Amino acid sequence: MELNIDGVGFSYPSKKVLNDVSANFEGPQLVAILGPNGVGKSTLIHCIDRILKPSEGHVMLDGKDTYEYHMKEMAKKVGYVPYASSDMFPMSVVDAVLLGRHPHSNWKSTKDDVRLVFSVLKRLGIDDLAKSQFNELSAGQHQKVMLARGLVQEPEIMLLDEPTANLDVKHQLGVTRILRDIAHEDGVLIIMICHDLNIAAKYADSIIMMKDGTIFATGTPEEVLIEENIRAVYDVECRIIEDQGRPHVILRECEY
């Protein structure tokens, strides 16, 4: 699967959010999108997934504009896990995750669908929640179930809006490691929005750093996470050291 973002722009009535964003991704990898609040990270994800239609430019999958795909065909290729879900209906975790199989099945779930659900729940370490009520979960558990729903969709490209936002430090590391492993072992292009520079540095294969609605820098963690870029994008001072062959960002206290 090749994803090509070609000159994408997007404007709300009162504000232009994205301006001439271009990037190309080919093959399985974990990509982290970094940048301060309000620079257009979520808007870019929404333009890729057809939640929003670009005002300018195109998003192409294997050389074909995303708007040329039928919705169900698109859902087989691209999965999306939002930052937060309003799905709080009283259903079991298994039933909530089974909703992710809709692009591949009719109204009735098969035994293979159920087996896949339990396999993904086990992979995420939440198989003990299978019979729990979805609307009674903690925020962190809820986030993992939403991730499981996206994974059982078996997309070629998976888009995640801050997938570790409601998780503690241990589970942030664990989930991001699982995402990296899924990308490499299952052949999935995973693109996630991330606010933790060091988690992105530790696990991402590629990083996109955004500023003012466009891409400021892109490349490997070693290429993107340098002091000059962090100063220019985040307006903070830092020091970069090496940890286990990856850059590690030490932030310095700043004055507001």
- Structural domain for 49, as ranges: 2-83+156-251
pLDDT, tens only, 201-224: 999 999 999 999 999 999 999 999
CATH number for the domain spanning 180: value is 3.40.50.300
Distance of alpha carbon 16 from alpha carbon 213, whole angstroms: 8
Assess if residue 203 is contained within a domain.
Answer: yes
Mean pLDDT of 10-24: 94
Assess if residue 64 is contained within a domain.
Answer: yes
What is the residue-wise DSSP string for 171-205? HHHHHHHHHHHHHHHHT-EEEEE---HHHHHHH-S
Assess if residue 71 is contained within a domain.
Answer: yes
What is the residue-wise DSSP string for 213-240? TEEEEEE-HHHH--HHHHHHHH---EEE
Assess if residue 60 is contained within a domain.
Answer: yes
Using a pLDDT cut of 90, give the percent of the chain over it.
75
Backbone angles phi, psi at 163, to 5 degrees: -65, -15
Distance of alpha carbon 107 from alpha carbon 123, whole angstroms: 26
- From residue 78, alpha-carbon distances to 2, 161, 236 in Å are 12, 14, 35
Domain count, the chain: 1
Assess if residue 89 is contained within a domain.
Answer: no
Assess if residue 209 is contained within a domain.
Answer: yes
What does pLDDT average to over the chain? 92
Report the phi/psi class of residue 221: left, alpha or beta, with left for phi > 0 and alpha for psi in -120 to 50: alpha
Residue in this structure with the two tokens 């492993």, named with its chain if needed: 181
Report pTM. 0.91
Question: What SS3 class is residue 108?
Answer: coil
Distance of alpha carbon 154 from alpha carbon 132, whole angstroms: 23
pLDDT at 155 over 80: yes
Rg (CA), the chain: 18
Helix, strand, coil proportions of the chain in percent (round to 5)? Answer: 40, 30, 30
Question: Considering only CA atoms, which of 113, 114, 145 is closest in space to residue 129?
Answer: 145
pLDDT, tens only, 102-151: 888 766 788 899 999 999 999 999 999 999 998 888 888 888 899 999 99
What is the residue-wise DSSP string for 111-134? HHHHHHHHHHHHHTT-GGGTTSBG
pLDDT at 88 over 80: no
Assess if residue 130 is contained within a domain.
Answer: no
Assess if residue 90 is contained within a domain.
Answer: no
